[in-house]
Structure 1
Amino acid sequence: MNFLWFFDMIDPCLKIGSRSCTDRRDGREGRTMAKSKFSPPLEEVLNLLDEAVIGLGPHGAIVAWNQAAEQFYGLSLTEAMGKPLADTLAVEDCLLTTAQVLQEAERSNRWRGEAVHRVADGRRAWVEWVVKRVQRPEEKAVHFLSFARNISEWKIAEERARQHQQQIIQADKMLALGTLVSGVAHEINNPNNFIMLNTPILQEAWESMRPILDRHAEEEGDFLVGGLDYSEMRDTIPLLFSGVVEGAKRIKRIVGDLKNFARTDASGMDHEVDVNAGVQSALTLVSNLVKKASRNFKVEFADDLPPVRGNTQRLQQVIINLLQNACQALERQDQAIEIRTAFDAKAGEVKIIVRDEGVGIPPEAMPHLFDPFYTTRRERGGTGLGLSVASSIVQEHGGRLEFQSTPKRGTTVTLSLPAKPPAGRG
């Protein structure tokens, strides 16, 4: 709603700043008066409004203060009268300072914008803020009328809509990623299959050839194979073949895990999830990142871990995010990262614990960890969506994320998930 019409309507009624209302004996406007300097008819009208209305003298001192302003800012008329507006209102997230707002209103007749005002009980509120220049024809002094309407609920709704839009965009990106990964995985798997199929044949051929080559070496002496002595290559070649096979299997496993992670799973949240296997798959995808971040990485899997009910791909997304955060928190490669699984039989919960020896989380950031778009690493490309999305996924699984952190010493994150009851018990 546009409130500028309001000022135009009341212009003829404005009486603030008249000589009969201003005490200038000590050079300070209104310091000896605790009475609002609106004209009586106007004061009655303004006290009916839900919006905070403040009258200001030529130098920005408060000379009028309606009842809504008292309630909104938590200051009585007596406490506010005569004080500079800049000292009374703690203004944040505004393009201009309070002094600049008054200068702009004096120059352009009125100024309008949005800002955060510190209100009663130290809270912060978004306001639509309009400041009107007021000058009666018979006076040289310029006064101002400040009007603040609380728009916090609207701003919250606007932010939620923006977050929802960002989530839709992120979902579209993940869908596109899934399509891309499927195509790339196919192109990788085809040549990798040749390696996996042909290498065992070459291994068998080598084993068949080795007795012949051994006899030749005994009769004719050592000879070169690939530029190296046969006596050395005889034991090295089998190891090379084994390395090729293991490498091909690793490629297949990574591609499979990547396809599973990027796949859009329409089957919902009712799978029986092996947490240890899920952690292992997630580690496969981030192993290179972990190796670059730390030379002191430890994994510990609990034995006989009961399954949980949920979605494997979504839980892997959470684990990957926690590991990425742990890697990004480290300052040196000798600092440790640890991930382990455990079962709390008393609580009936499966736990995944990720611990790092990184920079830790500032205490003031702890309440905002799950807020969308909140990040302490924005200058390094952080979006603030990772933990927000992770928290939503964990809540979908009926679990919880808990953080313990000491600045400069590290962070421990505990992901707790309800274990699936044994068969016959629910």
Structure 2
Amino acid sequence: MARSGLRAVAQEVWVSGADQAGNGRAQRREKRRQRLYESPVRVVVVLASAIFVAEALVMLVFRSMPGVPWFIDLLADSSILLLLLTPIFRIYIYKPMKAQIEKRKAAEACLKEYQAGLESIIEDRTAKLVEALQGLERENAERMLTEEALQRSEERFRLLFEQTEDAIILFKPGTCRIIDVNSVAERLYGYSKQELFSLGAGCLMGSEDYAKFCEIIGQVRHGDTIRIDSVTHIRKGGEEIVASVRGKMVSIQNVDLVYCTMRNITQRIRLEEEARLIQAKLIHTNKMTSLGVLVASIAHEINNPNNYIMTNSELLAKVCRDIHPILQEYYDEYGDFNLGGIPFSEMKSVLPELNNGISDGARRIRDIINNLKDFAREEASCVSTKVDVNRVVSIAASLLNHQIKKHTKHFRLNLWGAVPAVLGSTQQLEQVVINLIMNSLQALPGEECSVEVSTLFAADKDEVVIRVTDEGGGIPADIANRILEPFFTTRLDSGGSGLGLAICHSIVREHRGTLGFESVPGRGTTFTVRLPAVH
């Protein structure tokens, strides 16, 4: 079965090949015939062959008929030649040439029809091309107008970008990568544009602020706004400034950017702090005025009975001196007896001490009242009188005697023997020393820790120096640079206002002096006031 199937397939292939070979030979013969019909050589060959055959036949006929006249010979020759050539010309020349002419005419008609269609297509295509060209010209004109408008818009934007008063920085959305900055930003931060491109926004702020800023930039979307009222930035030289930041997402040439403006508000913050400090000082002055009235009234009410005590204590001292010989004589004659429940043998030595205690207490009350009156008294000029610094420190310590005993068992005054005077206000300098001592007392962790207040004269700088040293917990390094700021306090929960050191700093500065401090966390702090001496 397999062989018969293969034989049948082979037969079909051979028959198919034979048919294709026969068709090929027929097509080749037709092509040769066509070339022969259309070739000039064909006409020459046919004419020559026909004439040769005709002449050969005429010669054969006339050889068989000798003595024929020449004109008959000529007429017969011409007639036979015409009869033979006419069908040959018709078959081999006229018909092929007629068919060729008809083909040419048909081809020319097709060519003209195609040419007409081609011309129509060309005209249609030309019209479309013209219309497209006009559309391109319009689009080109519109694009040129758009580009000109865009260029003008970019010029206006660049003008605003460079001439605005605020620093402007463009960021890539989702990152803190700087795309562009204006000249104001370069001047504000001290970096060139290329430096900002290479260093990035991290050079403008601390690591924590930078992380928060990148988080904000990464979350901003169209319609969102960035608002940072106050943040600390760092200039190239390390100087810190306070800046406010505003920003939003914008599209420039179909490119989304985060547009941020930075405004230096350091001076404004400083002025606001000074205004708050001035307001606090006004409030404090008003309180001190009220305190002065109150102290004067209290002093009057206390001084009257205290004067009675002082006067009567002096009288009692004289009475005791006068009655002592009589009581001693009675004791010698009758023996011991009681006075106020105490035997006379003990009372005779205790009674003078009791009387001296009453006198000393009354005098101390008088001194405290006088110091309060001096502290609360409003002075005509804050820096117009000579002030004894040692006396200022002594009065401040006496006013704080109760607080000192409450907070420490080791309070020391170390006063320079004869310091020069300083020009200023006794009341205000007392306020400075009181605030510094109170801060030191409140910083102590226990009663065994000490506070020392000392004065000295720095001859090399011609300054009078007041030092208040404590063994408290010290000032942490991260808040040391803010300790003199108004309203900054670490004792807000215990009633601290944050104004004490700020007012001290302001008062010392008004006295043309300086207030500084040195602190070691865990070991203590020393505040130093330096005032120019007056000779």
Normalising by the residue count of structure 1, what TM-score does the alignment of the two structures yield? 0.73
Aligned equivalent of 2:230, options 95, 106, 115 = 115
2:247 maps to what in 1? 131
Asked if 2 retains the 8 angstrom alpha-carbon contact of 1:92 and 1:117, the reply is: no
Closer, same or farther: CA 57–410 of 1 in aligned 2, 3 Å: closer
Aligned equivalent of 2:454, options 340, 358, 367 = 340
1:33 maps to what in 2? none
Q: Report which stretch shifted further, 97-106 or 242-251.
A: 97-106
What are the superposed Cα offsets for residues 39-58 of structure 1, whole Å, 9 maximum, x if unpaired?
A: 95575355334334455666
- Please list, as runs of the form range in 1=range in 2, the aligned pairs for 1:279-294 lying within 5 A after superposition: 279-294=393-408
Asked if 2 retains the 8 angstrom alpha-carbon contact of 1:271 and 1:309, the reply is: yes
Partner Cα distance (2:423, 2:184) in 1: 53
1:314 maps to what in 2? 428
1:271 maps to what in 2? 385
Partner Cα distance (2:521, 2:307) in 1: 48
Partner Cα distance (1:295, 1:42) in 2: 74
Q: Report which stretch shifted further, 387-396 or 236-245.
A: 387-396
1:194 maps to what in 2? 308
Normalising by the residue count of structure 2, what TM-score does the alignment of the two structures yield? 0.59
- Please list, as runs of the form range in 1=range in 2, the aligned pairs for 1:2-401 lying within 5 A after superposition: 40=154, 44-45=158-159, 47-50=161-164, 51-53=166-168, 59=174, 64-68=179-183, 71=186, 74=191, 76=193, 99=215, 109-110=224-225, 112=227, 114-116=229-231, 118=233, 120-121=235-236, 124-132=240-248, 145-401=259-515
Closer, same or farther: CA 92–220 of 1 in aligned 2, 3 Å: same
Partner Cα distance (2:206, 2:319) in 1: 82
Partner Cα distance (1:119, 1:415) in 2: 30
What one-letter code is carried by the residue in structure 1 that aligns with 2:363? K
Partner Cα distance (1:78, 1:419) in 2: 50
Partner Cα distance (1:172, 1:212) in 2: 59
2:525 maps to what in 1? 411
Distance apart, 1:251 and its partner CA: 0.5
What one-letter code is carried by the residue in structure 2 that aligns with 1:251? I
Partner Cα distance (1:301, 1:124) in 2: 40
Distance apart, 1:132 and its partner CA: 3.5
Asked if 2 retains the 8 angstrom alpha-carbon contact of 1:318 and 1:390, the reply is: yes
Q: Report which stretch shifted further, 227-236 or 62-71.
A: 62-71
Distance apart, 1:115 and its partner CA: 3.2
C-alpha root-mean-square deviation of aligned residues, in Å? 3.8
Closer, same or farther: CA 185–323 of 1 in aligned 2, 3 Å: same
Partner Cα distance (1:93, 1:187) in 2: 59
Asked if 2 retains the 8 angstrom alpha-carbon contact of 1:353 and 1:413, the reply is: yes
Higher RCO structure (Cα 8 Å, ≥6 apart): 1
1:14 maps to what in 2? none
Distance apart, 1:317 and its partner CA: 1.8
Asked if 1 retains the 8 angstrom alpha-carbon contact of 2:280 and 2:499, the reply is: no
2:12 maps to what in 1? none
Distance apart, 1:282 and its partner CA: 1.6
Closer, same or farther: CA 40–248 of 1 in aligned 2, 3 Å: same
What are the superposed Cα offsets for residues 370-421 of structure 1, whole Å, 9 maximum, x if unpaired?
A: 4333444444443333233323333444443343333322233343334432
Partner Cα distance (2:205, 2:507) in 1: 41
Asked if 1 retains the 8 angstrom alpha-carbon contact of 2:512 and 2:532, the reply is: yes
Closer, same or farther: CA 359–230 of 1 in aligned 2, 3 Å: same
What are the superposed Cα offsets for residues 187-244 of structure 1, whole Å, 9 maximum, x if unpaired?
A: 2112111111112112222333333333333344333322222322222122111101
What one-letter code is carried by the residue in structure 2 that aligns with 1:115? S
SS in 2 for 1:333: coil
Closer, same or farther: CA 203–387 of 1 in aligned 2, 3 Å: same
What are the superposed Cα offsets for residues 4-30 of structure 1, whole Å, 9 maximum, x if unpaired?
A: xxxxxxxxxxxxxxxxxxxxxxxxxxx
What are the superposed Cα offsets for residues 147-170 of structure 1, whole Å, 9 maximum, x if unpaired?
A: 444444333333332322222222
Asked if 1 retains the 8 angstrom alpha-carbon contact of 2:387 and 2:421, the reply is: yes
Partner Cα distance (2:470, 2:216) in 1: 47
Asked if 2 retains the 8 angstrom alpha-carbon contact of 1:376 and 1:382, the reply is: yes
What one-letter code is carried by the residue in structure 1 that aligns with 2:457? F
Asked if 2 retains the 8 angstrom alpha-carbon contact of 1:54 and 1:62, the reply is: no
More helix by share: 2
Partner Cα distance (1:135, 1:306) in 2: 70
What one-letter code is carried by the residue in structure 2 that aligns with 1:197? T
What are the superposed Cα offsets for residues 88-110 of structure 1, whole Å, 9 maximum, x if unpaired?
A: 9769899x97656876875x654
What are the superposed Cα offsets for residues 248-278 of structure 1, whole Å, 9 maximum, x if unpaired?
A: 1000000100110111011553433333222
How many aligned positions are there?
376
1:32 maps to what in 2? none
SS in 2 for 1:373: coil
Asked if 2 retains the 8 angstrom alpha-carbon contact of 1:355 and 1:412, the reply is: yes
Partner Cα distance (1:79, 1:303) in 2: 59
Q: Report which stretch shifted further, 68-77 or 253-262.
A: 68-77
Partner Cα distance (2:338, 2:183) in 1: 96
Partner Cα distance (2:162, 2:457) in 1: 61
Partner Cα distance (1:124, 1:349) in 2: 31
Q: Report which stretch shifted further, 54-63 or 250-259.
A: 54-63
Asked if 1 retains the 8 angstrom alpha-carbon contact of 2:337 and 2:344, the reply is: yes
What one-letter code is carried by the residue in structure 1 that aligns with 2:230? A
Query: Sequence identity of aligned pairs in percent?
Result: 36
SS in 2 for 1:340: strand
Closer, same or farther: CA 59–41 of 1 in aligned 2, 3 Å: same
What one-letter code is carried by the residue in structure 1 that aligns with 2:247? V
Closer, same or farther: CA 43–358 of 1 in aligned 2, 3 Å: same
Closer, same or farther: CA 360–219 of 1 in aligned 2, 3 Å: same
